[in-house]
Amino acid sequence: MTLIYGVMRLANFAHGEYYMIGGYALLFSTLALGFPPIICLPFSMLAGLLVGFAVERFLIRDTYTKVMARPLEYAMLGTMAVSALLQNVAKEALGPFVRSTPPFVPGSVDIFQVSLSMNRIVAMAVSIASFIFLYYFVMTTKTGRAWRAVAQNRMGAIISGVNNSRVCFFAYGTGGALAGLAGALLTPVYGVWPNIGWGPLTLSFVIIVLGGLGSMKGALIGGLIVGLTHSFIAGYLSPAYADVAMYGVLILTLLVKPTGLFGQAG
């Protein structure tokens, strides 16, 4: 979501459904091929990528190729409609039931008297690896430089010869692929069902606002802060207060620094 907002300056309210699609892609590729779930992770990324490409091409592209009064509001309402559509299609086609895949790696480990399943450790390891790869890609490749150019000054990038449509197309698709990967990584932990995307969508907005809109470093630090706050409050006080504490941290941060931890004033 940070990548999509940073490059395209639009809020993607269908992001949770790309997460859901990634979970179902892992489930059905595992059942169809008989491979271990960890081998089928690329299918989840491919599913998120293709859906992201389709939404960008037939819905989002009009916001920057046609003259309209409020393109950001158009994108917001359009992705909300995509979210509702994908949820209901999944519910009608697959049912409202919670489904899951076999574990990536069976068993658990004890760290400081806390038991962690191997599924969570695999999810953490792949998340860190994907973040490092994305950061390297953005900072060193020609496509990454084009993304940064459009994020900094869209008109200046176009004048310099950057193909704005291609940049936005691949940025949005990559965001969908990463959301699909996230959904697949947590399917063995939480399962997957048609409405699962609402929770990750809400958390994603809290994290990117806390870290600073469009900042990759802010997304990483914001994710750690939100995750640790939620876990400690749920573990030491009560799960009922975990969400309250998470939003409390967000509000306090915005009172002190309205742009978020690493955001810049527009």
pLDDT at 175: 95
CA separation for the pair 91, 252 (Å, rounded): 38
Virtual CA dihedral for 61, 62, 63, 69, nearest 10 degrees? 180
Does position 12 have pLDDT exceeding 70, yes or no? yes
pLDDT tens sequence across 158-191: 999 999 999 999 999 999 999 999 999 999 999 9
Task: Tell me the β-bridge partners of 117.
Answer: 108
pLDDT digits (tens, 9 = 90+) for 140-162: 999 999 999 999 898 999 999 99
Is residue 26 within 8 Å of residue 44, measured between CB atoms? Answer: yes
| Strand (E) or helix (H) holding 176 | helix 164-190
With a cut of 90, say whether residue 37 has pLDDT above it: yes
Question: How large is the average pLDDT for residues 111-120?
Answer: 84
Q: Which residue has the tokens 């491979």?
A: 35
Distance CA 8, CA 55 (A): 14
Strand partners, 235: none
Q: Is residue 99 scored above 80 in pLDDT?
A: yes
Provide the mean pLDDT of the chain. Answer: 91
Give the pLDDT confidence score for residue 266 in this predicted structure. Answer: 62
The pLDDT of residue 128 is 93
**How does DSSP assign 193-224, residue by residue?**
-TTTTHHHHHHHHHHHHHH-TT-HHHHHHHHH
Q: For residue 102, is pLDDT > 80? A: yes
Q: What percent of the chain has pLDDT over 90?
A: 67
169 versus 238: the higher-pLDDT residue is 169
Listed in order, strand segments (DSSP E) in the chain are: 108-111, 114-117
Per-residue pLDDT of 85-94, as tens digits, reads: 999 999 999 9
